[in-house]
Structure 1
Amino acid sequence: MLLSEAKILIIDDDVDVLSAAKLLLKRHAKLVDIEKNPQKLPFLVTNNDYNLILLDMNFTRDVNSGREGFHWLDRILDINPKTKVIMITAYGDIEMAIRAIKAGATDFVLKPWENDKLLNTIEAALQSGASLLAATGTANEEKTKEDSKKGKPSADTIIASSDSMKQVLHTSERVAATDANVLVLGENGTGKTQLAKHIHQHSKRADKPFVTVDLGALSETLFESELFGHVKGAFTDAKEDRAGRFEEAKGGTIFLDEIGNLTLPLQAKLLTVIQERRVTRVGSNKPIPLDVRLICATNMNIEKMVEEKVFRQDLLYRINTIELDLPPLRERQEDIAVLADFYLKQFSKKYNRPVTDISSALIKKMQQYNWPGNIRELQHAIERAVILSQEKTLQPDDLFLKSSGGQASTATGFDLEDMEKTLIVKAMKRFNGNITDAARELGLSRAALYRRMEKYGL
Structure 2
Amino acid sequence: MLLKNANILVVDDDADVLTAMRLLLKSKVKDVVVEKNPGNIVSLIRKIKFDIIILDMNFNGLIHTGNEGIYWLNKIKEIDKEVSVVLITAYGDLDLAIRSLKEGASDFLVKPWENTKLIESITDILHKKKSNTFKKADFSITRTEILGESHAMNDVFLKIKKIAPTDANILILGENGTGKDLIAKAIHDNSLRKNKPFVKVDVGSLTATLFESELFGYKKGAFTDAKNDRPGRFVAADGGTLFLDEIGNISLQQQAKLLTVLQNRKVTPLGSNNSIDINIRLICATNLNIEFLANEAHFRKDLIYRINTVEIIVPPLRDRDKDIVLLAKHFIKLYAEKYLKSSFKLDDGFIEKLKSYCFPGNVRELQYALERAVIMADGDCLYKEDLVFSPIEKKGNNIGTPDLKLETIEKNAILKVIEKNNGNISKSAKELGITRTALYRRLNKYGL
SS in 1 for 2:434: helix
State the partner residue of 1:225.
Answer: 213
**Structure 1 residue ranges (4+ consecutive) displaced by more than 3 angstroms after TM superposition:** 402-407, 414-422, 445-453
**What's the C-alpha RMSD, in Å, of the aligned pairs?**
3.0
User: What's the CA shift for 1:247?
Assistant: 1.0
| Mapping 1:53-452, distance limit 5 Å | 151=140, 153-154=142-143, 156-401=144-389, 402=391, 404-405=397-398, 418=411, 444=424
- Displacement of 1:344 in angstroms is 0.8
Structure 1 distance, partners of 2:295, 2:412, is 47
| Structure 2 runs not aligned, ≥5 long | 1-130, 133-138, 416-421, 439-448
How many Å apart are 1:315 and its aligned residue?
Answer: 0.5
CA contact (8 A) 1:355 1:389 kept: no
Please show how residues 42-61 of structure 1 align to structure 2 within 5 Å: none
Task: Give matches, 1:27-38, under 5 Å.
Answer: none
TM-score by length of 2: 0.59
Q: Give the secondary-structure state (helix, strand or coil) at the position aligned to 2:279.
A: coil
Code of the residue aligned with 1:220 in structure 2: it is A
Partner of 1:343: helix, strand, or coil? helix
Question: Is the contact between residue 421 and residue 456 of structure 1 (CA under 8 Å) also seen in structure 2?
Answer: no
Share of identical aligned residues, percent?
A: 47
Counterpart of 1:323, as a letter, is E
**SS of the counterpart of 1:295?**
strand
The alpha-carbon distance between structure 1 residues 449 and 322, as it changes in their structure 2 partners (threshold 3 A), is same
Say how many residue pairs are matched. Answer: 288
Distance 1:263 1:449 in 2: 42
Partner AA of 1:332 in structure 2: R
Q: CA deviation at 1:418?
A: 3.9
CA distance in 1, matches of 2:287, 2:327: 22
Larger Rg: 2
| Counterparts in 2 of 1:251 and 1:363: CA distance versus 1, 3 Å | same
Alpha-carbon distance in 1 for matches of 2:141, 2:231: 32
Q: Distance in 2 between matches of 1:395 and 1:249?
A: 46
CA distance in 1, matches of 2:414, 2:268: 56
1:153 positional shift = 2.6
Match of 2:73 in 1: none
| Aligned residue in 1 for 2:80 | none
Could you tell me whether the CA contact under 8 Å between 1:341 and 1:357 is conserved in 2?
A: no
1:215-236 deviation line (CA, Å, top 9, x unaligned): 1110112111110000011112
Aligned residue for 2:124?
A: none
- For residues 392 and 354 of structure 1, the distance between their equivalents in structure 2, rounded to whole angstroms, comes to 7
Paired with 1:420 and 1:221, the residues of 2 have a C-alpha distance of 38
Change (3 A) 1:419 1:225: closer
User: How does the TM-score come out when normalised to structure 1?
Assistant: 0.58
Report the counterpart of residue 454 of structure 1 in structure 2.
434
Q: Give the C-alpha shift of residue 406 in structure 1.
A: 7.7
Shift of 1:420: 9.4
In 1, Cα distance between equivalents of 2:236 and 2:193: 14
- Closer/same/farther in 2, CA of residues 415 and 181 from structure 1, 3 Å limit: same
CA spacing shift, 1:351–1:457, aligned 2, 3 Å: closer
